[in-house]
């Protein structure tokens, strides 16, 4: 291994709280991506950034350096404004699965590149792969071709998109350096900028089940990401949304796709008595409307849901990527391993998103290591969302997946994730109301 003397100076400068130049940051990022800088030096650099922070200029430099390690998708051959969306990740977050077909159904081109789940939060790619035959790996040419033919795609990042982030993220994950606003902002924005869209919709999750546990940090992250977008001539919309409680009723892979499919199918499903989760519905409608209005569309999400065009577009996207939309219905034939009953009478006043995420992981719905196995049929269904009136024994949550630990042990554990109280709680909102106007930029 050949040492780069300059790297030590850069680490020391950051350790002492000094600002770094673009060339200093680029040397570190390039050196690490090419393998010239070893993990231990990069770890020291990342830790220095975590402890000392970065100015807005440095964060922009870092984003640029990371972006330039790979290729940028050239969407210029597709006419009109192109849209992308990113969520910082949460439990039961299936919004992208609905938003992409809604936006595409309005004729707005959308290329959504997603990631896999790690830890408590699920990944859109794992959910999509629970649809039989669905291919998430597309080349840049296939992405462009599909946007031209169908209007949208849901896929993974190509190998050539921000290779620096793949290495840096894996290292951050094991060195206690994930929770830095500058590092998170540069990681997300470098990938979004490489995706080539003109407008980027950012859903920043706040709460127990999210990276950002409090509103102040979420706001800071939103401002930094907006500043980066402006430096690259892009428009972003940032919404801070609630991740204290799980989003929707389903947590898992196929079960989440199934919940979205019911929602996209529109009003005839509701009249069959299928319980549409209002928080999920409102978040999908709100974020989709924000995207549509920014792209200059006169369509509204509700119309596109109600006239069936969003559902039709979902089917077209699934088919274009080799999937069988009918396979989603096999969810209805899966047997649960346990139904968890309420310990007493009252109202469901709270459901802990983080604990529910861990439970889904225990059932096999998520990964504990980067390349570990995943059970597409594992997951859970929340029978009694917040505000439900329950009696002792009323089902709170139904569990699907591996029966180890036993259904009985899980049953006991899961009861503790629900709070049953005497007073009816106020309905929880999905969008955090206190977002100042200027953060929606
Ligand atoms: N999501 C990312 O893509 N990167 C981070 O650093 C955190 C969340």
* Residue 430 CA from chain centroid, whole number: 15
**From 178, 182, 370, mutation site for ligand 1 pocket: most ligand atoms within 8 A of C-beta:** 178
The full length of the chain comes to 441
Sign of CA dihedral 226, 228, 230, 236: negative
Distance CA 313, CA 137 (A): 20
342 annotated active-site:
no
Is residue 121 classed as helix, strand or coil in its secondary structure? strand
Strand pairing partners for 390?
Answer: 346
- Residue 402 confidence (pLDDT): 76
CA of 180 to the centre of ligand 1 (A): 10
Closest CA to 363 of 411, 292, 313, 435: 411
CA of 174 to the centre of ligand 1 (A): 14
Would you tell me the crossing angle of helices 215-231 and 181-194 to the nearest 10 degrees? 40
> Is 120:361 a contact under the CB 8 Å cutoff?
yes
Give 200: exposed, middle or buried? Use CB within 10 Å, 0-12, 13-18, 19+.
buried
Would you tell me the crossing angle of helices 22-34 and 5-15 to the nearest 10 degrees? 120
Distance CA 408, CA 394 (A): 16
Closest CA to 65 of 84, 91, 44, 45: 45
Q: How many alpha carbons lie under 13 Å from residue 374 in its C-beta half-sphere?
A: 26
> Is 152:194 a contact under the CB 8 Å cutoff?
no
Which residue has its alpha carbon closest to ligand 1 atom 8? 88
86 annotated active-site:
yes
- Residue 123 confidence (pLDDT): 86
Closest CA to 352 of 210, 219, 173: 210
CA of 274 to the centre of ligand 1 (A): 34
Which residue has its alpha carbon closest to ligand 1 atom 3? 188
Would you tell me the crossing angle of helices 309-320 and 140-149 to the nearest 10 degrees? 150
**From the alpha carbon of 169, which atom of ligand 1 is closest?**
6
Residue numbers in the chain where pLDDT is lower than 70? 1-5, 118-121, 267-274, 370, 403-407, 432-441
Q: Which of 27, 93, 165, 375 is catalytic?
A: 165
């Amino acid at each position: 291994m050949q040492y780069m003397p300059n790297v030590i100076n850069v680490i020391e400068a950051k350790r002492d709280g000094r600002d770094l130049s673009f060339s200093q940051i680029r040397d570190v990022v390039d050196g690490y991506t090419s393998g010239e800088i070893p993990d231990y030096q990069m770890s020291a650099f990342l830790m220095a950034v975590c402890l000392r922070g970065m100015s807005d200029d440095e964060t922009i430099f870092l984003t640029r350096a990371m972006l330039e390690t790979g290729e940028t998708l050239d969407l210029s051959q597709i006419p009109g404004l192109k849209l992308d969306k990113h969520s910082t990740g949460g439990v039961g977050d299936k919004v992208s699965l609905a938003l992409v077909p809604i936006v595409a159904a309005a004729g707005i081109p959308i290329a959504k590149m997603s990631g896999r789940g790690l830890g408590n939060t699920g990944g859109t790619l794992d959910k999509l792969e629970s649809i039989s035959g669905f291919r998430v790996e597309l080349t840049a040419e296939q992405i462009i071709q599909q946007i031209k033919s169908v209007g949208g795609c849901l896929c993974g990042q190509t190998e050539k998109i921000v290779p620096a982030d793949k290495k840096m993220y894996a290292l951050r994950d094991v060195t206690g350096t994930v929770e830095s606003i500058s590092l998170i902002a540069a990681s997300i924005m470098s990938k979004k900028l490489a995706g080539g869209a003109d407008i980027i919709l950012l859903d920043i999750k706040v709460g127990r089940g999210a990276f950002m546990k409090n509103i102040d940090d979420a706001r800071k992250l939103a401002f930094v990401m907006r500043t980066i977008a402006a430096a690259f001539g892009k428009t972003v919309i940032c919404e801070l949304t609630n991740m204290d409680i799980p989003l929707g009723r389903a947590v898992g892979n196929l079960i989440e796709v199934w919940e979205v499919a019911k929602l996209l199918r529109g009003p005839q499903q509701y009249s069959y008595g299928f319980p549409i989760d209002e928080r999920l519905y409102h978040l999908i409608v709100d974020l989709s409307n924000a995207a549509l209005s920014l792209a200059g569309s006169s369509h509204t999400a509700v119309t596109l849901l109600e006239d069936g065009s969003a559902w039709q577009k979902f089917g077209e996207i699934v088919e274009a990527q080799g999937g069988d939309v009918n396979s989603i219905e096999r969810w209805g034939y899966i047997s649960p391993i346990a139904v968890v009953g309420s310990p007493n009478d009252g109202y469901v006043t709270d459901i802990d998103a983080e604990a529910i995420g861990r439970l889904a992981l225990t059932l096999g719905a998520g990964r504990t290591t980067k390349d570990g196995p995943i059970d597409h049929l594992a997951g859970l269904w929340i029978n009694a969302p917040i505000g439900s009136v329950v009696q002792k024994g009323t089902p709170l949550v139904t569990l699907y997946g591996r029966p180890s630990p036993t259904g009985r042990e899980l049953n006991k554990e899961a009861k503790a994730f629900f709070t049953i109280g005497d007073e009816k709680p106020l309905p929880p909102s999905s969008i955090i109301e206190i977002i100042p106007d200027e953060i929606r930029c």
